[in-house]
Structure 1
Amino acid sequence: MAHTDYPLSYYAATATPAPQRPRLFGEVETDVCVVGAGYTGLSSALFLLESGFRVVLLEAAKVGFGASGRNGGQIVNSYSRDIDVIERNLPTEQARLVGDMAFEGGRILRALVARYNIPCDLKDGGVFAAFTSRQMAHLQAQKKLWERYGHDQLEPLDERDIRAVVGSQRYVGGMLDRSGGHIHPLNLALGEAAAVEALGGAIYEQSPAVRIEYGAEPLVHTPAGRVRAKFVILAGNAYLNDLVPELAAKSMPCGTQVIATEPLDETLAASLLPQDYCVEDCNYLLDYYRLSAERRLIYGGGVIYGARDPQDIIAIIRPKMLRTFPQLRQVKIDYAWSGNFLLTLSRLPQVGRIGDNVYYSQGCSGHGVTYTHLAGKLLAEALRGQAERFDAFAALPHYPFPGGRLLRVPFTALGAWYYNLRDQLGV
């Protein structure tokens, strides 16, 4: 049987040592079978185990193999579409419920790190950086919007202020979210997995779910075994493939690319990000960056629709980095990797049930570090019979991409090209 290891990334190279987890052979029985050992699956497993459920996780490769172990490591609040979009498209009561949860994921993440003593280089503070006065106006509106939902952690940055937190001449201002922050994402996943096992949960790696038999006690099949459960949670996101075709029709895997420099000397690192905050800009196709614990600059950006792996990641991302920090022209790039996230047409999460006992949450649309931890809590609530908050997300409308699978990539790329052009023109 094939063995799938982590891609060569900075995160994999500096991961916390983890045990060799077994493949599934034969049949096991449990209360909940979770498909996917990323943040959604791991956090739902933790909440369920804390509530007394028996839980088995199936992972096609290794814990955190997908977006959970490859992302930019940034803790960013709200959703890929902000609360104002939700307010315009949902009934008032449902919009209020979804809006009230927009800042909960980051709190859940921090609580799990503290409760289970997870070493993941957690740092506080995230910056939204604006290129234009139009983007600054949007940030000011966002501040008022978030404050209506009780989030009072935003601090405006004028042109002088942002120079004190980002050593770049590109920005006219920004907004500091003191409840934002950054982490070593793979180590967070590995720490959550260790907590799952400490609570009695079982994790099987190299054990992809290949078929589900639905019914009163669903059976989830792997190549060499199967899990009989009372409930199933589908948490594979962009790596669920075609296990459930009706979910795949309303979502699209997309690739993003990240690089990590060699370790920077203390003076140079401090000149780039003096407060050690993470940063993302305000463009539609945004760039994001931060310093690692070793003072490497981790810089990511760009989207490849349809999740193809580019031949030369450094050639794509290094010019972006140098536009922001030209002082890094002589700095060596030690790591370059890509990873997939799952996009929905609305850019809002796709949540729901199949029958009475198969639950799913997917489609974070590039905004998953915080939302996935919220999703884990909501999934656990729903299985305990407290589904009001889960149902608020489940009622979000979702539609297939125009043109079906054949045309969804070119249509989506065309839309992204339009918004990217608007960013470049400053309109």
Structure 2
Amino acid sequence: MANTQYPESYYAASANAVPPRPVLQDDVETDVCVIGAGYTGLSSALFLLENGFRVTVLEAAKVGFGASGRNGGQIVNSYSRDIDVIERTVGPKQAQLLGEMAFEGGRIIRERVARYNIQCDLKDGGVFAALSAKQMGHLESQKRLWERFGHTQLELMDQRRIREVVGCDQYVGGMLDMSGGHIHPLNLALGEAAAVESLGGTIYEQSPAVRIERGANPVVHTPQGKVRARFIIVAGNAYLGNLVPELAAKSMPCGTQVITTEPLGDELAKALLPQDYCVEDCNYLLDYYRLTADKRLIFGGGVVYGARDPANIEAIIRPKMLKAFPQLKDVKIDYAWTGNFLLTLSRLPQVGRLGDNIYYSQGCSGHGVTYTHLAGKVLAEALRGQAERFDAFADLPHYPFPGGQLLRTPFAALGAWYYGLRDKFGM
């Protein structure tokens, strides 16, 4: 039996201590079987347990092994495609409901951290940094859009103001969202898993779902056991594989790369990010960065379509970091890793139900830290018979990638190349 450990990363090296979790080796019965112990699965489990359901979580590796434990750690509101795009796609009524939910995920994270005393280095404040006048105009429109849906913790920043919060001279301005922020993502997942167990939920690690037996009383099979449930929630995202073929057909795993410096010390760290906000730029293929609790810089960016692991992550990301902060040219990189997220053609999440009792959410398209926490609440509501918000997501249109699985990777890479050129030349 494989024993899959966390990949080498800063997060794994600085993770809070947790007890060992068992491998499923029996036949068990439960109300809800959740497949995947990332944010979507853990959020679903918590909301269900708080409402009296019995919950069993199956994890193929370890809690937070996938994107939930490897991402940039940034709390960013809304979706990968913003509310105005949704409104043009589905009309004002459905967009209103989705818009009202667009800022809920960050509130759920903060509520979880407070209620369950999760130690995950939570800090408030996120910056969207504009590299051109066109991008600044987009931020001005985005502020008006978000304020239309009741989100008011926003400040537009001119060139002078953004240099007060980011020690980088390449930005013409930006927008500060004080309801944004950053966390140690793996420790958030580990804390949520402990909360699940404190409420009587069970999490099995090293217990991959290998087959779902569908029907009135569905059964999830693992290599050494099985779980019989009233409902199943599929929350594997980019690490689901082909367990549910109809979900794999409309999505594509993609890799993003992250590096972490050696500790910078208080003076240099404060010179880079004086208020300890996190930052992402406004390019299509964006860069993102923040400080850790021990004053390292985490810097990420780039996309590898098809989720291949690059041979030299530092060679890809370090030049991006030095373009923003040339003063770090002699700083050592202590960690470099990659992690997969799941891309959809629309870049909107895919939510739905297979038959009467198998629910799923996937395809955050690189915007998952906040959305996954919202998704858990929406899925739990649906299982309780309150499906209005679930239906708002489930009714979003989704399409297979042109050319099917064979051509989806080169198709997406070609699109990214085009948008990368637009970013480069300010088009």
| Range class of TM-score, shorter chain | over 0.9
Aligned partner of 2:405 in structure 1 is 405
Q: What 5-or-longer segments of structure 2 have no aligned partner?
A: none
What amino acid is aligned across from residue 328 of structure 2 in structure 1?
L
Whether 1:57 and 2:96 are equivalent positions in the alignment is: no
Q: Report the counterpart of residue 126 of structure 2 in structure 1.
A: 126
Which residue of 1 is the match for residue 314 of structure 2?
A: 314
Give 1:162 shift.
0.6
Equivalent AA in structure 1 for residue 171 of structure 2: Y
Task: State the one-letter code of the partner of 2:419.
Answer: Y
How far apart are the structure 2 equivalents of 1:196 and 1:258? 29
What is the aligned partner in structure 2 of residue 361 from structure 1?
Answer: 361
Q: List aligned pairs for 1:202-241, cutoff 5 A.
A: 202-241=202-241
Query: Secondary structure at the residue paired with 1:229?
Result: strand
Give the alignment of 1:66-215 within 5 angstroms.
Answer: 66-215=66-215
Superposition deviation, residue 91 in structure 1: 2.9
Distance 1:390 1:116 in 2: 26
- Find the residue that maps to 2:126 and give its secondary structure: strand
Work out the CA distance in 2 between the residues paired with 1:398 and 1:86: 12
Provide the residue aligned with 2:386 in structure 1. 386
Matched, 1:342 2:333: no
CA distance in 1, matches of 2:169, 2:94: 42
Matches within 5 A, 1:24-43: 24-43=24-43
Aligned to 1:48: 48
Q: Residue 375 of structure 1: SS of its match in structure 2? A: helix
Taking the aligned partners of 1:83 and 1:100, their CA distance within structure 2 comes to: 10
- What residue is the counterpart of 1:272 in the other structure? 272
Aligned to 2:418: 418
Deviation at 1:26, TM superposition (A): 1.8
Distance in 1, Cα, partners of 2:347 & 2:411: 15
* 1:93 to partner: Cα distance: 1.4
Superposition CA RMSD, Å: 0.4
CA–CA separation in structure 2 for the residues paired with 1:89 and 1:113: 35
- Hey, what's the Cα distance between the residues in 1 that align with 2:18 and 2:251? 32
Deviation at residue 48 of structure 1 after TM alignment: 0.2
Shift of 1:92: 2.2
- Length-normalised TM-score, structure 1: 1.00
Q: Distance in 2 between matches of 1:349 and 1:411?
A: 19
* Percent pairwise identity: 79
Q: How far, CA to CA, are the matches of 1:115 and 1:265 in structure 2?
A: 32
Distance 1:162 1:343 in 2: 31
Shift of 1:95: 1.1
Count the aligned residue pairs: 427
Letter in 2 for 1:217: N
- Letter paired with 1:97: L
Distance (whole Å) between structure 2 residues aligned to residue 252 and residue 238 of structure 1: 7
C-alpha separation in 2, matches of 1:280 and 1:225: 43
* CA distance in structure 1 between the partners assigned to 2:265 and 2:142 by the alignment: 36
Q: Secondary structure at the match of 2:179?
A: strand
Q: CA deviation at 1:13?
A: 0.2
Q: Hey, which bits of structure 1, 4+ residues long, moved more than 3 A?
A: none
Match of 1:244 in 2: 244
Residue 16 of structure 2 is matched in structure 1 by 16
* Alignment match, 2:5: 5
Larger deviation, residues 89-98 vs 231-240: 89-98
Match of 1:230, SS state, is strand
CA distance in 1, matches of 2:367, 2:91: 23
Give the deviation of 1:58 after TM superposition: 0.2
Alpha-carbon deviations, 1:113-154, whole Å to 9, x = none?
A: 101000000000000000000000000000000000000011
Shift of 1:70: 0.1
Equivalent in the alignment of 1:287: 287
SS in 2 for 1:31: strand
- Could you state the TM-score of these two structures normalised by the residue count of structure 2? 1.00
Q: How far has the Cα of 1:270 moved from its partner?
A: 0.3
